[in-house]
Each structure stands twice: as C-alpha cells, then as structure tokens.
Structure 1
C-alpha cells in the first residue's frame, strides 16, 4: 500500500507476522509490528533497546530526535508502561500517515512535536530526560548540525545526571566518522562507548553503530553482559578500545 504518496510507502511484511516497513525514497526507514512492539526487525534498533534495557526498572523519560514510525518509542511504552516520551519529527506528513495507518497503542504517553532536532532540543527543560535518542537521517547521513559539540552540549543539558545519550550512526569500515562524533560526545557529555554487530565493529562491512554517552558512570560491564545475550552477534567497545582501533581524532 502507498497511502503516503510516491515518496513514502508502507510495505507489509510477507511472513505473516503483521509487520510493516516504512520506506522513504526507496530506502527502508523503520519497521513496526502493531501486535508485538517488542519485535524489532532492524539490527540497530535492537541495539538501542539493549542499552535502554540496562537502565533501572520503571518508567523512563525519553526524548527521540527523529521519529519515523516511532518503533523505539512503542517499544519503551510497552516495556516500561507510563514512560513519558517526546518525539521530535519535523515531517508532519509522515507523522500523520503513521498515526492514521499505524496507530499508537492505547494509554501511551508519547507526544510528537513537529520540530527539527536543533529547535526541539533547545526548547526542552534542563535535566528533563533519562535518555535522549538521536536517530535522524537526511539521505544516508545524520544531519551535520546534530553532531556538533554545540548541539551535543545542549543534549547534555537536557539529560539527568546519570542519563544516556544514544546516537544511531552509520559508517564505513574503519569507523572514522563514528570516531569523530565520539570525540565530540566525550567533550560535550562524558564517558562513551559503542555497541554494534561484530562484523561492523571489526570493519568487515558498512553498518550502523550505536554510540552511548553519559555524564555519569557508564556501565560498560552491564552493556557487555546485555550484548552477550543479544539474538545477533553483538559487541561493545569502550573508549580505550576505540582509541586503539581508530587512533586519536578530533
């Protein structure tokens, strides 16, 4: 089906599970299973959820920069009922399509704001989020203005003392782009690590890496335990390991 016009398509899965993939300009953007929000088809979304699952039990205040079909917001809503969430998604037509064709669950606390990341984060209160997730793409790259030290400093302002910033980054083997973003995260937020598939971390293929940063103590040991339980081969690199692998970058 194609209720969103030529640039946005909702493509039903053919495996009988009832899932739908949101495709924009021919590229899959997100996947939703209305019947099972814990089913996360995209590898990087599994990694985002893995990190969130290491946080203490109970509701979480989560801000999402980039919404699409709100897959991760639906997961948090199901896994941690009562979680207040803000989704910053400037594409109003996409949001309307998703709300109409892929409605959010009952009793959710997800608020969608038609704002870009810079504007939306600037309008948030200090220490108002347990987690800030950056999953925004223009074409095949995160918009450059969302990876500057200035923007990441604003993200740090919004985070609570032990809060987490999670960034979905795509990179070539070698991870030089990821390393540059991590350098900014270290300066703006604090301790950093990454989680991704073993193949991506070892430089065997292009792929997505989830960067994790916290102004408090980052539980890298807990992340490694969680990664070991992941359904796909998944690894974690701390700052020292990344420095040895990539070298020093600015």
Structure 2
C-alpha cells in the first residue's frame, strides 16, 4: 500500500517473516515496524530501547499517561496499550495523510485509550496542562531530520512543564560522526533536567557510523542499572552512558536555544541501502 504524504511517498512493506507485520517506509527510509498480531514485538533497535523505558517507567501493568510526539505507525503506543491496559495516550502527528494511511491499514484496537491529534508537536505540547504526562516520547522526523524547533531548551522547558512530578522524557536522536548534534542535545537536556542517561549502539557512540541514540531525562534518579541490563540483552546489544561518562562524552557542547537551533543532520544515503 502506498500514499503520498508530506515527507514523500509512504509505503507499507510486508514483513516476510511475520504474517500481519509491516514496515512503514517514507521515500525509502524505514520509519516504523508494526506487527498487528503481536504489539509487544518491537522490530527496530531504537524502538526496543524506548520500549524498555516504558517498561521501567512504572510497576508492570500500571497504567501510564503517555504523550507521543511523532506518530509513525503508532508502534510504541500499541506496545504500551497492550502491556499496560487502561493507559491514556495521545499521539501528535503533523502529517494528516500519514495518519489516514496508518489508521486505515494498521488500525488501533477499539479498547485502547489512544487519541491521535493532527498538529505540530510543539504547538500541541504548549496546549497540554501542567503535569499531564508520566512519559513523553519524542520521535519526530521530517525528511529524516528532527525539526529545529524540537531541539532547544525552550522546547524542553515545555516538556518538563507537561511532565508529572518525577515523569520521564525519552527522545530518539539520530546522528553520525562527529556527533555534534547528539552532544548538543545531551547538553540541552542537561540544562533542563538534572538526571540523564543515553542508550545507543557502541559503534554510534564511538562515531563509527550514523545511527540512533535514545536519551532519557527526568528530575528524579533514573533506573540506570535496569536499563543497562535490558539494553545489553537486546539482539544488537547496546550501551548506556550516564553520570561522569556521559558528561565526558558531551565534550563541552553547549545547550541549543531557539535562536540558534538547527534540524538534525540528514543521514547518508548508504544508511538505507
């Protein structure tokens, strides 16, 4: 199935190993993977790491209030709805054509409390009440790049306002050597949140290839040991950095403000081939 969306041509490509699973591709770049028969299956590395965070955000089965900035194929919302019944979730996705495609081809279960809003992520964030969310997940890409206005301290100030006391912010970040964007995003989060950690493939952290890193931030201590165990047990094991090691990795990068914000770098064409 194909449809023209704001980011280009969206295609749902069947997974040959799973009878009712698809990968959402936009202009040849993989965006999301969904298995309608098994919403607990997270096919992409970064999605598994976000899933680990959702698992650790509260005791098993406890409902959460979750805000998803960026919709994709609603993969993480499905995962949380299945694992934590009665959770209340909002998905914010700017691309109305993409939302229509996903709703039609990959429908959400009727009993899941998931609301999908067609809006800009930062605009929608500004309209939410203080302390609404237990977890905010940011996974926003336009033409394979995170928009500049979602990379600043002003944006994260709004995220922190919307989080309940002790709530978590998790972001999917993409970068490659020399990792200037990733380092700046860590510095930006550190200017707003006192507690941080970062999960990624060691090759990405060493600047050997372009890839994804998942940043987790909060005003309270994070379960670094638990996340480290889960990430190390992934099919492609990752590493979790925090504390002094994460500060050293940041390497003196400065926080990003609205006035100087830039979109994240575009991945090289070789990433998708």
TM over 0.5: yes
**Which residue is equivalent to 1:192?**
196
Bigger shift: residues 76-85 or 201-210: 201-210
1:193–1:237 CA contact under 8 A, matched in 2: yes
Secondary structure of 1:39's counterpart equals coil
In the superposition, the TM-score normalised over structure 1's length comes to 0.95
**Which residue is equivalent to 1:2?**
2
1:29 counterpart (16, 28, 31) = 31
Asked if 1:64 is matched to 2:98, the reply is: no
Return closer, same or farther for 1:16/1:52 CA change in 2, 3 Å cut-off.
Answer: closer
**Which residue is equivalent to 2:131?**
127
**Which residue is equivalent to 1:179?**
183
Return closer, same or farther for 1:140/1:239 CA change in 2, 3 Å cut-off.
Answer: farther
Q: How does 1:1-250 map to 2 (within 5 A)?
A: 1-2=1-2, 7-57=9-59, 58-250=62-254
Return the alpha-carbon distance in structure 2 between the equivalents of residues 2 and 66 of structure 1: 20
Q: Deviations over 1:63-107 (max 9, x none)?
A: 000002100000000111111000001111111111111110230
**What displacement does 1:4 show?**
5.3
Return the alpha-carbon distance in structure 1 between the equivalents of residues 118 and 56 of structure 2: 30
Q: Deviations over 1:27-73 (max 9, x none)?
A: 11111110011111111101111112112220111000000210000
Structure 1 consecutive aligned stretches of length 4 or more whose deviation exceeds 6 Å: none
Q: Deviations over 1:222-247 (max 9, x none)?
A: 22222233332111000411222341
**What displacement does 1:175 show?**
2.5
Return the alpha-carbon distance in structure 2 between the equivalents of residues 3 and 25 of structure 1: 11
Secondary structure of 2:78's counterpart equals helix
RMSD over aligned CA atoms reads: 1.6
Secondary structure of 1:7's counterpart equals strand
Secondary structure of 2:140's counterpart equals coil
In the superposition, the TM-score normalised over structure 2's length comes to 0.87
2:190–2:196 CA contact under 8 A, matched in 1: yes
1:54–1:226 CA contact under 8 A, matched in 2: no
Relative contact order, higher structure (CA 8 A, sep 6+): 2
Count, aligned residues = 250
